[in-house]
Chain A
Amino acid sequence: MTSLEATAARYVGARVPRVEDPRLLTGHGTFVDDVTRPGMLHACFVRSPFARARLGRIDATVALDLPGVRAVFAAADLNPGVHEQWYTLIGKDVPDTPRPPLAEGEARFVGDPVALVVATDRYVAEDAADLVDVDYEPLPPVVDYTTALAATELVHEAYPGNLAGALGAPMSEDLAAVFGGAAHVTSATIHQQAYAPVPMETRGMVAEWSGDELTVWSATQAPHEVRMFLARLLGIAEHQVRVIMRDTGGAFGQKVLPLREDMCIALAAMRLPAALKWIEDRRENLLAAGMSRHEHGEAQMAFDGDGRILAAHLDHVQDVGAYPTPWPVGTAMAVGLLFPGPYRVPAAGYRTTSLFSNTSGRTAYRGPWQFESVAREVLLDIAARRMGIDPVDLRRRNLLRHDELPHTNPNGMPYSDMTPIETFEQALGMLDHEAFRREQADARATGRYLGMGTCSYAEPTTSAMAFQGTEGATVRIEPSGKVNVYVAGGSTGNSLETAVVQLTADALGVDIADVRTVQGDTAVTPFGAGTGGSRSGSMLAGAVEESTTVLRERIVTIAAHQLEAAPEDIELADSSARVRGTPAVSVPLAEIADIAYFQPHRLPEGVPPGLEVSARYRARSPLIWANATHLCTCEVDPVTGAVTVLRYIVSEDCGPMINPNVVEGQIAGGSVQGIGGVLYEHLAYDEDGNPLTTTFMDYLLPTATEVPVIEYGHIETPSPGPGGYKGVGEGGAIGAPPAVINAVADALSPLGVEITRLPLTPAAVVALIEGAR
């Protein structure tokens, strides 16, 4: 149906300035803390100061006497209000882990919400929280997940051995036989520390119950998930809940699902005469918004005499804290499935074990399965060094080529549309690998330690699983010819507004300034699953394509009728429909809209009135594969242990780009989070389960002085999805850590250092250097 295609893309593929920017640059965004309601009340949680304690009497008498205090709720007040509690994203049939709104009977980590104070402002609420008298009987905590399986104490009584779940199997006899016959076998147990998404805007919610409808303003990645979840939680109908989010200040997985505090606010709001606002403060965010990445794995690979991979196995163990969200066992499986990565691996296996501890619960974070890359890529460098070859050469012998795809990895992952060796070679070319090796050798001769490291990964994006498998868009051409696009969306930094405006403007042949988008309000936007799993680019493109295809057909039919031309000769451009090759013969979109809305008698036979179409896209493939190679060079100061990143190169294949600025922004942000995770960030606890990093003075985010210039290489292999687009939101955070770790390991390799434990703080680097002596 070539007649229904728009003219050549003007906006898609271009570095179009973002439509979100003017409001955000001038202080006119609407974040949840910017929402004020008449008589609004403010919440503050009373949180456990103990890693584990039996909860006795909670006495709020003194707190309630404080002027301005309206209510103090404990578990007995709120928790019975829960009707159902499960996430649409995960489904209700998984053996989910416990998740009470307020702590019941036992506090299970420092920061566990024990009571909720409601007052006329947050200052008073904090005063009152200090006055709530909670009777704690401290109990011995399970702090170290690595010994939790054998611990006599239990985080949750119903989970013997503190085992939240396990999947996969230890190495099979068949696999062991391959290892037994291999020329080289390398094994290493690699430990990653806890770190966290840490969006600049903390979590937050305003909930207002009118007696008939609950209106919720939420910092979220998925307003429709919040709506469905809260409706089930409260036992009211979905259409009695409206969730609004205009601007969310970063999320990175932390805001993909409502957490326990969100439940408390909604439950409490049902019992209050006015809206209730909770804005998490930074200490709470670092204390209780969850941790990620805390895991280790025994990684093993077998190689033939030429360094070709024969088999791989990963025995993975992860800390899920006290109250993980989502169900952590399912997400851990991806670590095992993806461990073979974008390499030719004939045989593989994995086991993954999830263990509770009395620490903050594991939550989703950008590339939640990221450890597959850490384990594999760090192991490959160790293996190369033990075999006496350059890690670059080892990868060249094993990385998949585009023309070898589709290829199913030994764990059943159906790779397609990727360019592993191609991105690897592009990154090496951008560096000039040989020149770097010479520079490195010269530096070593003068006592300086330079290193390079790479990471190549294969990333499943745009899952077609259940909730995430479809996405809707409504496109309305106004009587004036201006265009509105409604998608679930919402601005969390992913530039979804800009993306749909670009796509729609091109699809309808209108000026981008004539297109606006409405997102983030469940009352007016189509149903959608929100951002997560690097799905938004492809799914929104599909949704816009579905609805604009119908619209274009209608516009063309009306225009052909008006111009007395054949529909296949009509093209849409410059906000008009015109005869191809005879642009003077045209009818403005505004006139077509006027006919469609106000002069239905002028419509051709069978054409419905109006120019508003809702349509829904169904994902065309179960997954869309993206891939990249990250390459990092660094210098290590052997005295202080400081690591300075010198060059940082990302060669990535996310298919054609809707907006290269947005793609590169996502890569850069993710990469710097990964660099931070290796060198700076650590959500640390002491032996008693006390958190050590609950301020930004202790939890070190990278700043402008710590980050390198990021250089981008793009390879554009189309996906089977709309426009050939792929997901790109998460990859940076997956690819960066191994590249940095391997660069440091390479720099220190003359000293005999092998890196298997993170983070690489300066002190840790010095310890490695001294330990290798």
Chain B
Amino acid sequence: MKPAPFDYLAPTTAEEVVSALVELGDTAKVLAGGQSLVPMLALRLAAFDHLVDIGRVAELRGVERRDGALWVGAGTAQATIERSAEVASAVPLLARATPLIGHFQIRNRGTIGGSLVHADPAAEYPAVALALDAGLEVLGPDGRRTVPATEFFIGLWSTAVGEQELLTGVTFPLWDGRCGFAVREFARRHGDFAVAGAAVALELDGDDRVRRCRIALFGLGSTPERATAAEAAVTGAVVGEVDLEEVGRLAMSSLDSVPSDLHGSSAYRRRVGGSMVARALRAAGEEARGR
């Protein structure tokens, strides 16, 4: 199980990366942490003539507050995010999703940008980005642009990042006030990709009414999905009076491409997904009420 041959470049700036991508076209692939790409290469499910390693691009790494939001460099390792006090306080949902990714050895190499661009529909980070309305900074031959998470995930393992573009960073808006955050997922084993999961962010007003609610689902479609009908049902309600199981069912009702495989049928995933929504909502609601 050895990869097919490829040539290797290791630029040190984001511009150089983009230049290389422009020059090499679709024969090139960006190598970030390699925790998804290298297995695919080893299994020869994918092959590229050139790998452009972004591991030596220092400007892609870092966690910092920028303009009232939290910026995380695309090349930042998941382990760095897991250990960051800044992330834990500013974007708790991101912090709580991180330990659910694989195992610590994987998180030492895996990056947030790699996870987002790989866009596995069962992965945690894409759902977190979607739930929080993250902005995804993309550098291309024509300069920088920011893609809202709602427009980023366009299909199975497919994103708005073009062949000649590089994801450079992710900006997470900060949620202040009486907020609660939770990720709940069901996986066959600890560390496996989720069979179904939900990432929830809630904000309450002073009377425990839900001011804002975001529910992002993963493992339940070809992309991560927002459960907008369920969000609407929760918004404005008193958090303790919400019928969580009903919201879970509502969250599942709009899904039209729930996968089916050895680990479970579409119907099974809906059942589990609804339950994960309910469990995440309960946890987020309890946290918000305690604030």
Using a CB–CB cutoff of 8 Å, the interface residues on chain A facing chain B are: 122-123, 126-127, 130, 281-283, 639-642, 680, 682, 684, 692-693, 695, 697-698, 700, 702-703, 705-706, 761-763, 766-767
Contacts and interface: CB of A to CB of B under 8 A. Distances in A.
B2 A763 contact: no
A126 B2 contact: yes
Contacts of A640: 186, 271-272, 275
Contacts of A122: 2
Contact of A761 (B193, B263, B271, B275): B263
Interface in B186-232: 186, 188-193, 195
Q: Indicate the size class of the contact surface on chain B.
A: 20 to 34
30 contacts: A123-B2, A123-B3, A123-B5, A126-B4, A127-B4, A127-B5, A130-B44, A282-B1, A283-B1, A639-B272, A640-B275, A642-B186, A680-B188, A682-B262, A693-B262, A695-B43, A697-B39, A697-B192, A697-B193, A698-B262, A700-B188, A702-B189, A703-B190, A706-B189, A761-B188, A762-B264, A762-B272, A763-B264, A763-B265, A763-B268
Contacts of B192: 697, 700
Interface in B1-23: 1-5
A641 B2 CA distance: 38
A639 B271 contact: yes
Interface of B: 1-5, 39, 43-44, 186, 188-193, 195, 262-265, 268, 271-272, 275
B271 A766 contact: yes
Given A126-B2, A127-B5, A761-B263, A766 B268 contact: yes
A281 B44 contact: no
Contact of B262 (A126, A692, A702, A766): A692
A692 B262 CA distance: 8
B189 A684 contact: no
Contacts of A763: 263-265, 268
Contacts of B195: 762
Contacts of A703: 189-191
Given A763-B263, A763-B265, A706 B190 contact: yes
A684 B1 contact: no
Contacts of B188: 680, 700, 761-762
Contacts of A123: 2-3, 5
A194 to B, nearest CB: 13
A682 B264 CA distance: 13
A183 B219 CA distance: 51
A684 B262 contact: yes
Contacts of A693: 262
Complex A-B, nearest 4 residue pairs according to Cβ-Cβ distance, in ascending order: A705-B190, A281-B1, A763-B264, A123-B2
B125 to A, nearest CB: 18
A755 B244 CA distance: 31
Contacts of A698: 262
Nearest to B42: A281
Nearest to A682: B262
B268 to A, nearest CB: 4
Q: Which of B39, B191, B193, B272 has the most CB of A within 10 A?
A: B272
Given A282-B1, A763-B265, 6 more contacts: A123-B3, A126-B4, A127-B5, A702-B189, A703-B190, A762-B188
Contacts of B193: 697
Contacts of A767: 268
Nearest to A695: B43
A279 to B, nearest CB: 10
A762 B189 CA distance: 11
B186 A283 contact: no
Given A123-B2, A639-B271, A695-B43, A680 B189 contact: yes
Contacts of B189: 680, 700, 702-703, 705-706
A703 B103 CA distance: 11
A639 B272 CA distance: 7
Contacts of B263: 761-763
B34 to A, nearest CB: 15
Contacts of B271: 639-640, 766
A695 B2 CA distance: 14
Contacts of A283: 1, 43
Q: Which of B39, B271, B275 has the most CB of A within 10 A?
A: B271
A356 B190 CA distance: 37
A55 to B, nearest CB: 22
A138 B130 CA distance: 45
A680 B262 CA distance: 11
B259 to A, nearest CB: 12
Nearest to B275: A639
Nearest to B261: A692
Q: Which of B188, B191, B195 has the most CB of A within 10 A?
A: B188
A682 B263 CA distance: 10
A641 B188 CA distance: 11
A105 to B, nearest CB: 28
Nearest to B248: A639
Contacts of A761: 188, 263-264
A706 B186 CA distance: 14
A13 B39 CA distance: 46
A317 to B, nearest CB: 23
A640 B190 CA distance: 15
Contacts of A684: 262
B281 to A, nearest CB: 15
Contacts of B44: 126, 130
A740 to B, nearest CB: 16
Contacts of A130: 4, 44
A706 B191 CA distance: 11
A311 B124 CA distance: 55
B95 to A, nearest CB: 21
Contacts of B275: 639-640
Nearest to A702: B189
A49 to B, nearest CB: 13
Contacts of B265: 763
Q: Which of A682, A693, A706, A763 has the most CB of B within 10 A?
A: A763
Contacts of B5: 123, 127
A762 B43 contact: no
A130 B43 CA distance: 12
Contacts of B2: 122-123, 126
Given A281-B1, A282-B1, A640-B275, A762 B186 contact: yes
A693 B261 CA distance: 11
Contacts of B186: 640, 642, 762
Contacts of A680: 188-189
B252 to A, nearest CB: 13
Contacts of B3: 123
A706 B5 CA distance: 38
A28 B288 CA distance: 55
B43 to A, nearest CB: 7
A198 to B, nearest CB: 15
A586 to B, nearest CB: 56
Nearest to B260: A763
A72 to B, nearest CB: 18
A773 B180 CA distance: 37
Contacts of A700: 188-189, 192
Nearest to A686: B262
A642 B271 CA distance: 13
Nearest to A44: B2
A642 B272 CA distance: 10
Contacts of A639: 271-272, 275
Contacts of B4: 126-127, 130
